[in-house]
Structure 1
Amino acid sequence: MRVSAWLICLSLLSTPALAGSDVTAAQGVIRAQEQALARDDGASAYAQAAPEIQALFPSIEVFMAMVREGYAPVYRHKSFEFGAAQAEDGVIAQRVHIVDANGEAWEALYTLQTQPDGSLKITGCSLLKTGQSV
């Protein structure tokens, strides 16, 4: 047991320092979108989406309709807490534990990617009700 704990610590230490700041930045982008959605500020929420997402949903109104209909736990929730994250080669995967407005638990997996201008944008969000399998 001591050896495996040591290996886990060693693997955590081998993660580049930049990854930690990338994860912090990614959480800031996700939090900005989450707060914009809470205020029904479609323009700010849409601004956090990567160009590929904006191309799929070419207006703020279409984007917000998609969020309201397909991502109700993200749109309206009781709690929204960051879980584990991974950063590699400009791509960040961030888990978020959500309790929706009805008290049901969800797990969201956000992906973000560094854009040519150096900013991070959300490239996707997958939702899974806690207790469901893929």
Structure 2
Amino acid sequence: MRIAALLVAISIIFSSTAAFADDIASAQGVIRAQEQAFARDDAAAAYSHAAPAIKEIFPAPGAFMSMVQSGYAPVYRHKSFEFGDSKSEGSWIAQRVHIIDANGEAWEALYTLEQQADGSYKITGCSLLKAEQAA
């Protein structure tokens, strides 16, 4: 009986770990797809990864892209873009990204994503700080 209970507990731990890993991989895929859309100057593709609340604030892809270009230059253009730590809670994921901008300066971005009714993840926000401020 104890062995069966132990096996059930182990399977639950590993299945939740696998689900967590799948969710993180999905969220990172969304962030990476948006990053690549920025690199191609594809406003429509970049905008497609934004959550509904972001689309309410920026109702057109062009307005969204202008905001990113002016307010998030290290996200828009950079030398490197590497994923850091992730945290998942309920339908939300927080993902750190280490960025080296076009001028060689280090930045920390914290993306937040929310799982949508269809199971996909959309970006709800991005906070950006110079790396020395983030420490």
Task: Provide the TM-score with structure 2 as the length reference.
Answer: 0.86
- RMSD over equivalenced CA pairs, Å: 1.7
Q: CA deviation at 1:88?
A: 1.5
**Counterpart AA for 1:107:** E
Q: CA deviation at 1:116?
A: 1.1
Aligned-residue sequence identity (percent) comes to: 65
Structure 2 alignment gaps of length 5 or more: 1-12
Q: Equivalent residue for 2:31?
A: 30
Q: Per residue, is there more helix in 1 or in 2?
A: 2
**Counterpart AA for 1:77:** H
**Shift in CA distance, 133/29, structure 1 to aligned 2, threshold 3 Å:** closer
Q: Equivalent residue for 1:107?
A: 108
Secondary structure, aligned partner of 1:34: helix
Structure 1 alignment gaps of length 5 or more: 1-11
Counting matched residue pairs gives: 123
In terms of Rg, which structure is larger? Answer: 2
The list of structure 1 runs, each at least 4 consecutive aligned residues, that deviate by more than 2 angstroms after superposition, is 12-17
**Shift in CA distance, 77/62, structure 1 to aligned 2, threshold 3 Å:** same
Distance 1:15 1:97 in 2: 27
Q: CA-to-partner distance for each residue in 1:12-47, whole Å, 9 max, x for gaps?
A: 979633111100000000000000000000000000
Task: Provide the TM-score with structure 1 as the length reference.
Answer: 0.87
